[in-house]
Amino acid sequence: MFQKLIQYRFLFDELVKRDFKKKYKRTILGMAWSVLSPLLTLFVMKIVFTQFFGRTTEHYTIYLFCGNLVFSYFSEATSQGMTSLVGNAGIFTKVNVPKYMFLFSKNVQTLINFGLSLVVFVVFCVIDHIPFTWKLITLLYPLCMLILFNIGVGLILSALFVFFRDIQYLWSVFTMLLMYMSAIFYTIDSYSYNVQCAFLLNPVYLFIRYFRKIVIEATIPTVWFHLLMLADVAIVLGLGCFMYKKYNTKFLYYV
């Protein structure tokens, strides 16, 4: 896989540049929307939910920002990755290139947006007097896992989208449901132990929870928490790779 990416490096670079330019084409603010979009969302959520949940939650702005930051990256990466094959059918139906390369380019573009938002997140942490400790280094683990998870989900969605175009509508409804199930703007402390454990079945909540524990609580999650996250990523990524390998030739006939 990596050898082919090196082999087609020029095409990959051009795909990333094209996707990035296309996202901000004919916009006045351009790349600034990568920062303004999560900030505006955070502002709206803070106004709406502070009166209900923020009064008893310490560092509620950062709490909200962690959830919104992770979920927005997941939603954008998977939604754009879903159309990566169909959107580039004109290329791989004429030239024999690795089809996963189109998905990777989408993920690189969304990762850049996430990185810009992450810089703003650090600024907010400073304003909110969040202490910075060596434990922040451990955020590399959930970040790497999140990137791989997004790629895995993108592989599955893009493969399904080739055969079932209805998947885009189902996914938009599912992501909305997932947002409410990821405890972005509320805490789960008031729920029973069994319900709190049920939240751990949601991989997106795992990533959000990891960020909050490190940034807000300055606590490293347990080994079991790390293994659960790794298992989720391995399952999704493995299934995605399997689907691409199995339907590699069929993609040509359905796009």
* pLDDT tens digits for range 16-25: 777 766 766 6
CB atoms within 10 A of CB 174: 12
The pLDDT, as a whole number, for residue 31 is 63
Q: For residues 162 and 165, what is the distance between their CA atoms, to the nearest angstrom? A: 7
For the entire predicted model, the pTM comes to: 0.89
Helix (H, G, I), strand (E, B) or coil at 222: coil
How many domains does the chain fold into? 1
Residue 139 domain boundaries: 2-254
The pLDDT, as a whole number, for residue 24 is 63
Closest of 2, 136, 150 to residue 75, by C-alpha = 150
The pLDDT, as a whole number, for residue 143 is 96
Q: For residues 206 and 104, what is the distance between their CA atoms, to the nearest angstrom? A: 23
Terminal Cα distance for the chain, rounded: 23
Instruction: Copy the structure tokens of residue 198.
Output: 């049920």
Report residue 178 CA to chain centroid gap. 12
The pLDDT, as a whole number, for residue 209 is 96
Please report, to the nearest 10 degrees, the dihedral formed by the alpha carbons of residues 122, 127, 130, 132 taken in order. Answer: 50
The pLDDT, as a whole number, for residue 8 is 63
Question: Which positions of the chain have pLDDT values less than 70?
Answer: 1-10, 12, 20-21, 23-35, 48, 51-52, 54-55, 255
